[in-house]
Amino acid sequence: MNNPQRIPVTILTGFLGSGKTTLLNRILKENHGKRIAVIENEFGEIGVDQELVIHGEEEVVEMNNGCICCTVRGDLLRIIKKLLKDKRKFDYILIETTGLADPAPVAQTFLTDEELSQKVQLEGIVTVVDSKHILQQIDRSPEAKEQIAFADVILLNKSDLVTPEELDQLEKKIRGINAVAKIHRTVNGEIPIDHVLHVGGFNLDRALDVDPKFLEIEYPFEFAGVYKLGKGRHRLQLSKGPDPSMKTFVGVFDTEQPELSDALLNDVAMQFSGKPIPVAHGKTLGLLPGFYELVITEDENTFDLHLDGDGHLGLFTQHHPTEFQLTLHNADKRAQEPLHFREFKPTHSHDNEVSSVGIEFEGEIDLKKLNDWFGALLMNAGQDLFRFKGFLSIQGFNTLCVLQGVHMLFDYKPFRSFEPNERRKNTLVFIGRNLDRNFLTQGFLSCKAD
């Protein structure tokens, strides 16, 4: 049952290119009289989605430094809590996730944070599906299946690109993944607003059926330990592991019997969403406490800690210490074992072959060169291009054009008129598998007008 004292929240998700931003704009254009806060998350080196969102009475916040379901969860908490303190008093919060997000950890945020659960209410998860491409996306990307599995409402968008018989088969396939979600067939996200907002509340029981560990919090670190250390110098020692760095939070406990409580873990998770201090081999980890990025080389690596007196030290590491043969030695060079520790499941990760490439340059685009290049590119690599989008300054046009594409399909259309004396600039972001940065960059630059 809805609690009128809490602000309703809807999570809008869907795989890359499904039409989430189009649906979001349709919601914002409706004459609903609500003050809506919109939180945008992009997976890409260059953020373009915020400019594509209609701005009116809404507050639009963009997060483009990672996937909202993993590395920026602390940012999500911070932004929402800031919105709750805003004097303008929002009626609704919409969260548009990146197309590579697992919606479960996002929904979990509203159910496991005590302060948040008292002030906001998760209304539901709305998943937008690209009817033409979803079957191949389900087969190749677990995120696409997860987005369907956790949905309360599913929109079979772009339904005009497939036959009614294909839509029937697609709906049958989706029913095999999620038997209870409401399904609507849409074109360009056209749907009455009450079909996607106020949909009756998020179904926690069904989420637990899909994933029995749904309420197990996903932290951005895999290990937390408490060590009892004396005054003097102590040393962290690592070997080369799976990453060229190890993000680590180090803190000193004031209490004599420190505990790795959920409140403490949430505080550290917030720190992990910030920018770490880089520390090179042989250097000291600054003033405690702090969030550090240990820069790792091919050889053995050492990082020093200095304590002014006896105390308890907390160590929170991005990866499990065994992956880096991490040890903590005291002033007598004896290895220290934690008084107590907790281990956590690895954070949600994406296919390592999936990445993004962002390209920007000033000048104008030759439309024929662009069409020729895209035609050849999509014929050879279209299946690996999940999504591409950007803004183009095309020679001979007095408007900035927006380009959007999914796999083999793309189009560009006028977006807005250029401002007087505005510099002509082109921005293009590719998201896909096995992307060749140099090849894409040189190809796009070759489309520049002479």
**Fold adopted by 7-210:** Rossmann fold (3.40.50)
| Cα→Cα distances 440→96, 359, 426, 445, Å | 27, 8, 14, 9
**Range 111-116 contact pairs with CB under 8 angstroms and sequence separation of 24 or more:** 111/204, 111/215, 112/215, 112/217, 113/77, 113/266, 115/81, 116/77, 116/80, 116/81
pLDDT in tens, 391-419: 889 888 888 888 877 666 667 778 888 88
Q: Token pair of 416, please?
A: 């807005």
Residue 127 pairs in a beta bridge with: 13, 154
399-406 and 385-392 beta bridge pairing: antiparallel
Q: How far apart are the first and last CA of the chain?
A: 62
Query: What pLDDT, on the 0 to 100 scale, is given for residue 165?
Result: 92
Q: Taking the model in full, what pTM does it have? A: 0.55
What are the extents of the domains in the chain? Answer: 7-210, 223-343, 354-445
Q: What is the mean pLDDT of residues 182-186?
A: 91
Residue 265 CB-density burial (10 A; 0-12 exposed, 13-18 middle, 19+ buried): middle
Give 72's pLDDT tier (boundaries 50, 70, 90).
very low
pLDDT in tens, 375-391: 888 888 777 776 777 88
pLDDT in tens, 251-288: 877 656 678 887 788 788 878 877 888 888 888 887 66
DSSP structure class, residue 266 = H
354-445 is classed CATH 3.30.1220.10: yes
- The full DSSP string for 16-79 is TTSSHHHHHHHHHHS-----EEEEEE--SSS--HHHHS--SS-EEEEE-SS-TTTTTHHHHHHH
